[in-house]
Chain A
Amino acid sequence: MSAVLSIVEYDFRNFFRYKMWLVGLISMNLANLFIQALIYNHMLSAAVRLSIGNYFNFFAPGLTVTGLFASAFMIGREINMERRREVHHYMLSLPMTRLELAVGRVLSGGSRGMVYMIPLLLTCFAFVGVPSFSQLLLILAVLFLLAMGISGLSIAIAVSTSNLEKFITARGAIYYALFFCSSVFYPLSLIQTLGQEGKFPVPLVILAEINPLTNAADMIRSFLMGTPKFFVGMIFDVVIFSVIFTFIAAFAYIEIITRQV
């Protein structure tokens, strides 16, 4: 366990080396909220306004999930850089098992995502509403699981290629697929309606429904705004995503990194 914590500490030290970068990222996220969301609030159609109310309030939980995704994904970039610069040889030489090393990397990626996301979540609570204590615990638990899954996904991609451009391209493709087929920017009910009307491909509607970003954002909305209605499936969806990608990441990290030696 202490080995895992050492890896977490190592990754956190790296994370805080880029304080200004983090401040910049948070500023960008807040600009999204205080400019884009406020302006879109004046452009909503009557039907959507009836469904979601205020777009600023609707978007704030989505933005929290967006920030979590961006920061949890950062670990992949670092691991990819370590692989390119062959720092992974040093990592493998540390007195710990491969499993401890892999678990430490996934755990630190997820934890760093949580640290980054806190200011955004607090902004969300300040403007949208405050959850009850039990709801808060549930929100934090689900977001942590989501961060672990995203971190795992990022690590799995990072170790699969030693080329930074391929990593960035894969990150972009995943970002667009996961964000635009989710309820981060618009309500799931709207995507489903478009799917029923034949204006949006059904596979993408299904992707939006099972997308962990949709379920995490909607869970926060359900606690803070009362809509959409909360159901246990939202939590299960995130748990399944997290478990799958945490295991894939640990396996890929151990197998691929060791194979290079």
Chain B
Amino acid sequence: MVHVPGLNYYPYYVGGLAVMTLYSTAIYIGFDIYEEAEHGVFEYLLSLPVSRRQLALGRSIGGGLRAFIYVGPLMAVSLFVIGALNPLNFLMALLSLFLLAFGLSGMSITFAVLIKSSDRFDIFMGILDALIVQLSTVMYPLSVVTQTNPLYGGLAQFNPVSFGSDLFRWGTGVESIITISNPLLPLLGIVIFFSFFTFVGIVIYDKHIEGGGWQ
């Protein structure tokens, strides 16, 4: 159905699918926060002998790690379908995907604590999901996105999900699906995204939860 010159679309899409699933799983931590608040677990967590910052950082790492574990089998299947692997490249791609999952969890926690209503959070994340996934290179290469609309292309170019999917494909070492020449730029993008949402997330979490401020 789809034809893009110089690109084998099926493995390209399979690679993107793994990153798309990683995104959906990593942001789920925000919904857990509302669930905990509803069942009074939040107070228990606040009573633990750990600092607020450690708690927030732990939640981000936990959210990223469990997303990574959840998507692990899908990644293995993706690699099998794509059919090749460059071990060194792939290790670097895995590390960047972990940072991406970590950053996405931090982003989800940040928004969950800021929005404070599970319904509004649900709506917001749904719209963000639609925009962040569709305006990325998860399903289509950047050249086609830019050709469709330069604004879409500009947004897709600086999208962390684009960085993750481009690096994952690069990590496989399969030429027909690689669309980046320099992996350092997307890697840098992921590191900035991860750093921003982890540290901003910690500060916001720290400031918004005292005295029932999260309610």
Contact A27 B149 (CB under 8 A): no
Minimal Cβ-Cβ distance residue in B for A29: B130
A1-26 contacts to B, CB under 8 A, are 18, 20-21, 23-25
A46 adjacent to chain B (CB < 8 Å): yes
Instruction: From B36-44, B82-90, B119-127, give the one contacting chain A.
Output: B119-127
Contact among A18, A36, A48 with B134 in the assembled complex (CB-CB below 8 Å): A36
Chain A residues in 8 Å Cβ range of B3? 43-46
Minimal Cβ-Cβ distance residue in A for B3: A45
Minimal Cβ-Cβ distance residue in B for A46: B3
Contact among B1, B119, B145 with A20 in the assembled complex (CB-CB below 8 Å): B119
Distance in angstroms between the alpha carbons of A21 and B130 in the assembled complex = 14
A137 adjacent to chain B (CB < 8 Å): no
B152 adjacent to chain A (CB < 8 Å): yes
Distance in angstroms between the alpha carbons of A43 and B135 in the assembled complex = 15
Chain A residues in 8 Å Cβ range of B131? 31, 35
Distance in angstroms between the alpha carbons of A23 and B134 in the assembled complex = 19
Contact B1 A44 (CB under 8 A): yes
Distance in angstroms between the alpha carbons of A225 and B87 in the assembled complex = 50
A179 adjacent to chain B (CB < 8 Å): no
Distance in angstroms between the alpha carbons of A108 and B145 in the assembled complex = 41
Contact A32 B123 (CB under 8 A): no
Chain B residues in 8 Å Cβ range of A20? 119-120, 123
Which of under 10, 10 to 19, 20 to 34, or 35 or more describes the interface residues of A? 20 to 34
A-B contact count (CB 8 A): 65
CB distance from B141 to the nearest CB of A (A): 9
A240 adjacent to chain B (CB < 8 Å): no
A60-108 contacts to B, CB under 8 A, are none
Contact A21/B119 with A27-B127, A35-B134, A36-B134 known, Cβ cut-off 8 Å:
yes
Minimal Cβ-Cβ distance residue in B for A20: B123
CB distance from A111 to the nearest CB of B (A): 22
Q: Interface residues of B, CB < 8 Å — how many?
A: 25
Chain B residues in 8 Å Cβ range of A175? none
Contact A36/B139 with A24-B126, A31-B131 known, Cβ cut-off 8 Å:
yes
Chain A residues in 8 Å Cβ range of B124? 24
Contact among A21, A24, A44 with B2 in the assembled complex (CB-CB below 8 Å): A44
B148 adjacent to chain A (CB < 8 Å): yes
Interface of A is mostly: helix
Chain B residues in 8 Å Cβ range of A231? none
Chain B residues in 8 Å Cβ range of A190? 1
Chain A residues in 8 Å Cβ range of B147? 42
B46 adjacent to chain A (CB < 8 Å): no
Contact A43/B140 with A35-B134, A36-B134 known, Cβ cut-off 8 Å:
yes
B4 adjacent to chain A (CB < 8 Å): yes
Chain A residues in 8 Å Cβ range of B188? none
Chain B interface (Cβ within 8 Å of chain A)? Answer: 1-4, 9, 119-120, 122-124, 126-127, 129-131, 134-135, 139-140, 144-145, 147-149, 152
Can you spell out 29 A-B residue pairs with CB atoms less than 8 angstroms apart?
A: A18-B119, A20-B119, A21-B119, A21-B122, A23-B123, A24-B122, A24-B123, A24-B124, A27-B127, A27-B130, A28-B129, A31-B134, A32-B130, A32-B134, A35-B131, A35-B134, A35-B135, A35-B152, A39-B139, A39-B144, A39-B152, A40-B2, A41-B148, A42-B144, A43-B3, A44-B1, A44-B2, A45-B3, A190-B1
